[in-house]
Chains A and B, each alone.
Chain A
């Protein structure tokens, strides 16, 4: 018993020493930044954690990530807690674009810069926003779908099944907004929209199962996340369809979507440029934290031509989303290939 206690004591001392040894390394960082991630249940978010931690480390900051499990109230609590910890900055990918507004204002008033990542909040001022633009993803998808329909039917006409994510999530509603706005110009296109509750894959499969029977003339399925397209493909397969028989377009650029392109089931994946979005945050981190002026203009982020604008809600960098097809699916720049850039990013002058 005594020997065991002594061993535990020795282990404790060893751990304490190890902590002391690593302390100077921690002291070398410029400080802590908190990343409030909406959920860890999809691959985009998981990869965003890795990317932000890596890029912020490149420019000298330590990133601590807090997961809100897609719950607005949890994220509101997190932002309030983090304000008390006085970090160098808060990177926020909001669960609910509007509900987080008071938290953002409180943090900004306390002198803590809030950086909006991936999800744009236009109703209040933030220190910086790095987005691909969810409405724009809808635009890109619409352009690609127009091309696909034209190639198949000679003109832009036909029936589209649009499978949204959870109807309470502004992210999916914005994609829908962008997509439908661009498709309005084509009266011969019928769009059937159905939400997959809680972004759950089998719900998407169920929708496809039912709709393909009720509307056998569906030409194309547009799903708002790649993990839902996997269930859509499984449902099509179950109904005896072959790859390419019903066209498929998805968004966010997850690895599963890219795999489906390779297998011939999916035509296009609209990518959110995750790595570039995260790298942009790191490139401007010093300026944001030191409260230096960010000027409008063009800037290259990981080779992508991006544009910084000064908006009512603060400096905003918009990085173009890309359409991935069989022709370019293997390019390492797409985050779905999970080959994060190894080159360290540099802070902008």
Chain B
């Protein structure tokens, strides 16, 4: 009885190791970096985690289901640009408005989600129907979708979203802007889906053992298609949130976020082999990366160190993952 409780404790600690690391990092930074320990900075960390974090939700679903999606960053940029082009009033923006004004929120959100879902559906078609390699298909999408962003904007930026949209990026609840709460809500919703609903269990099964899942009568193709469409739509949501924060879009918006999202997913304990991982860990991974970015912003350290530290963290995460697997094997 005592042994099993001890094992459960170790298991819990291993599962939530990244939260512990985050806590230690925050304490160390708060003690050593001037101006770090203040509510505004912690709110900034949460706010800055919004976009990479939201994108990482969809990426995690895809990876847990045993696939990969390199197109999420460009999908985010496309959704942001379409939002900017349709609803921004300056630059390349066409400034579509509605009466009552608040209608712009559901309409722009629906457009961004649809744009993302369309890219996801295209990926799914090639991967599921034509049985093409997901890495290559989504790499191609990563390139053509970014090209589409430049093409539809003509390289111009679209700026000044209406106040009826911008308030979501400005108004705060407990110091944290509403857009960050939307992202947190997304994490909670999809964590529940992943842990408590048949869909979540099934995609874990597919990622863990595709053949066995197929033999169990689960419709692998249908579920894989859904995960790609979901990942695209979630990237669309991330793009919408980013457009709200920057009050529009530029053609290079979101550049570099793909690798941050991958880093967060890996640091968060999602196995690139598929079948294993939790969204709680991924969110902790995103917060950890943001905490480090903020620390570097506040210290006099050159920005190149951000990339070096991120790379190092990914390696440490992989080492910890190996260590966790080893400890678990010994416990059994």
The count of A-to-B residue pairs whose CB atoms sit within 8 angstroms is 117
- Cα distance A188–B90 when bound, in Å? 38
When distances are taken between beta carbons in the complex, the residues of chain A under 8 Å from B154 are 46
A299 lies within 8 A of chain B by Cβ:
no
Contact of A200 among B36, B245, B256 (CB under 8 A): B256
B245 touches A234 (CB 8 A): yes
A200 touches B254 (CB 8 A): yes
When distances are taken between beta carbons in the complex, the residues of chain B under 8 Å from A198 are 252, 255-256
B276 lies within 8 A of chain A by Cβ:
no
When distances are taken between beta carbons in the complex, the residues of chain A under 8 Å from B307 are 197
- Cα distance A290–B210 when bound, in Å? 68
With A45-B155, A201-B253, A209-B48 as given contacts, are A195 and B91 in contact (CB-CB < 8 Å)? Answer: no
- Cα distance A201–B253 when bound, in Å? 6
B198 lies within 8 A of chain A by Cβ:
no
25 residue pairs from A and B, CB less than 8 Å apart: A40-B251, A45-B155, A167-B302, A167-B303, A195-B302, A197-B306, A197-B307, A198-B252, A200-B256, A202-B51, A202-B245, A202-B246, A205-B245, A210-B41, A210-B44, A211-B297, A211-B298, A213-B35, A230-B159, A230-B247, A230-B250, A231-B245, A238-B169, A255-B90, A255-B91
With A41-B251, A42-B252, A209-B48 as given contacts, are A201 and B155 in contact (CB-CB < 8 Å)? Answer: no
- Cα distance A233–B253 when bound, in Å? 16
A256 touches B91 (CB 8 A): yes
Shortest CB-to-CB span from A169 to chain B, Å, is 12
A41 touches B91 (CB 8 A): no
When distances are taken between beta carbons in the complex, the residues of chain B under 8 Å from A46 are 154-156
B90 touches A209 (CB 8 A): no
Within 8 A of B (CB), among A35-69: 39-43, 45-46
Interface size on A, residues (CB 8 A): 37
- Cα distance A215–B304 when bound, in Å? 22
Interface residues of A (CB under 8 A from B): 39-43, 45-46, 167, 194-195, 197-203, 205-207, 209-211, 213-215, 227, 230-231, 233-234, 237-238, 254-256, 259
Shortest CB-to-CB span from B199 to chain A, Å, is 31
B191 lies within 8 A of chain A by Cβ:
no
B303 touches A197 (CB 8 A): yes
B35 touches A197 (CB 8 A): no
B150 lies within 8 A of chain A by Cβ:
yes
A200 touches B251 (CB 8 A): no
- In the complex formed, the residue of A with least CB distance to B170 is A238
- In the complex formed, the residue of A with least CB distance to B52 is A202
Within 8 A of A (CB), among B260-285: none
B120 lies within 8 A of chain A by Cβ:
no
When distances are taken between beta carbons in the complex, the residues of chain B under 8 Å from A201 are 246, 250, 252-253
A42 touches B251 (CB 8 A): yes
- Cα distance A41–B248 when bound, in Å? 15
B293 touches A214 (CB 8 A): no
When distances are taken between beta carbons in the complex, the residues of chain B under 8 Å from A197 are 256, 303, 306-307
B245 touches A42 (CB 8 A): no
B252 touches A41 (CB 8 A): yes
- In the complex formed, the residue of A with least CB distance to B244 is A234
Within 8 A of A (CB), among B31-71: 34-36, 38, 40-41, 44, 47-48, 51
